[in-house]
Amino acid sequence: MQLTPTQIDEFNTRGVLIARDALTNDDLQPLIDELCEWIDARAKALHAEGKLTQLHEDAPFATRYGLLCKQCSEIGQGMDIMHYRGRAIFEFLRNDHLLNLLESLLGPEITCNPIQHLRSKPPQAYENHQGPSFHNVPWHQDAGVMMPEAEGSEVVTCWFPLADAMVEHGCMEVLPGIVETGYLRHQAAGGTTILPEVMPEAEPLALQCKRGDVVLMSRFTPHRSTPNFSDQCRWSLDLRYQPTGQHTGRTGHPDFIARSRHDPASELSNYKEWCHRWIDAFESPNGVVMHRGE
Ligand SMILES: O=C(O)CCC(=O)C(=O)O
């Protein structure tokens, strides 16, 4: 699915767009299957160490992780894209349905930016702390989590849930229409966040998404996460892409060419090579990994 001219116009004027039904079950299920396997193995390891009493093996994907987290928050350690490095997630980073949307905004030469996360937001009632966290990030622009050198890079954030993410599940909120302000100064205060004195006055919009929907957001669009008041985990991925050749804003982590109409041979399709690049970045740090607001 390509974006229509009306959708492109909406993205450009509002800084955010929800592409409805952009991903299929076949796109998403391999990610869920891979996560289920990972969670199962991790739960069994923690059980063997005596840190978990109940494995909840019969609980569905929507609730199992929360039930495990309630007993032992260590369950989530290592559960981000660059740490667990599953084959299905690597394949997804080059997903055609996703890249077709992005090609409408970025053109045919697309790089996968290394700022990317899997987020599993457990029910708030199961968390042993309240307030800002990786799950409940405060108001920020994605330009605020990159090096200043990337301010001019057209980085587009793609956010999508693995199951419906409504207000009760703690979907994202954005301030639409903030496109002319550019970078707003950030500070580190319970997470990287926009300074109160430069926070735009606009009505927040809750980005309620069904499974299959994809949020596309500009690097300048203020957004935040909200608490999960349901009894299900809110699973989502936030990935970033940009035109090839522009600064990624995180030189210490590896980017790769996800699509090139001009030179398809330059695309990275080798899973082991992708893993190797992340391992190398962690074992031999080189380059910059910073939030601009810190
Ligand atoms: O997943 C969320 O609720 C917040 C994600 C976010 O802040 C981001 O993708 O930059």
pLDDT tens per residue, range 138-196: 999 999 999 999 999 999 999 999 999 999 999 999 999 998 899 999 999 889 999 99
Contact, 1 vs 167, CB < 8 A?
no
Task: Phi first, then psi: give them for residue 194, nearest 5 degrees.
Answer: -65, 135
Distance CA 143, CA 14 (A): 16
d(CA 165, ligand 1 centre) in Å: 12
Asked if 133 and 126 touch (Cβ cutoff 8 Å), the reply is no
CA of 137 to the centre of ligand 1 (A): 7
Sequence ranges of the domains in the chain: 18-283
Amino acid 294: pLDDT: 65
Q: Whose CA is nearest to atom 9 of ligand 1?
A: 238
- C-alpha 116 – ligand 1 centre gap (Å): 10
Cα separation, 52 vs 43, in Å, equals: 7
Taking the CA atoms of 130, 136, 141 and 144 in sequence, report the sign of the dihedral they define: positive
Annotation: CATH topology of 18-283: Jelly Rolls (2.60.120)
- Weakly modelled stretches of the chain, pLDDT under 70: 128-133, 294
Q: Phi and psi dihedrals of 135, rounded to 5?
A: -80, -30
Give the pLDDT score at 128.
67
Beta-strand runs (E) in the chain: 16-19, 109-121, 156-161, 172-174, 186-188, 192-194, 205-207, 214-218, 223-225, 234-243, 256-260
SS3 labels along 149-208:
HHCCCCCEEEEEECCCECHHHCCEEECCCCCCCCCCCEEECCCEEECHHHCCCCCCEEEC
d(CA 53, CA 55): 7
Q: Report angle CA 132, 247, 160 to the nearest 5 degrees.
A: 45
Ligand 1 centroid to residue 59 C-alpha, Å: 26
Task: Tell me the CA–centroid distance for residue 110 and ligand 1, in Å.
Answer: 21
| Residue 257 tokens, joined | 């060419």
Q: How many CA atoms lie within 13 Å of 11's alpha carbon, on the beta-carbon side? A: 25
Name the residue among 96, 91, 105 with its Cα closest to residue 243: 105
Residue ranges lining ligand 1, Cβ < 6 Å = 119, 137, 142, 157, 159, 172, 223, 225, 236, 238
Res 130: pLDDT: 58
Rounded Cα gap, residues 182 and 37, in angstroms: 42
Helix (H, G, I), strand (E, B) or coil at 224: strand
pLDDT of residue 135: 79
Q: What is the pLDDT of residue 126?
A: 87
Among protein residues, the one with the nearest Cα to ligand 1's atom 4 is 225
Atom 2 (ligand 1) nearest CA: 225
Ligand 1 geometric centre to CA of 193 (Å)? 12
What is the predicted pLDDT for the residue at 293?
Answer: 73
Please give the model's pTM, rounded to 2 decimal places: 0.97
Q: Residue 40 has what pLDDT?
A: 98
The whole-number pLDDT of residue 55 equals: 98
Q: Please state the atom number of ligand 1 nearest to the C-alpha of residue 119.
A: 1
Q: What is the pLDDT of residue 176?
A: 97
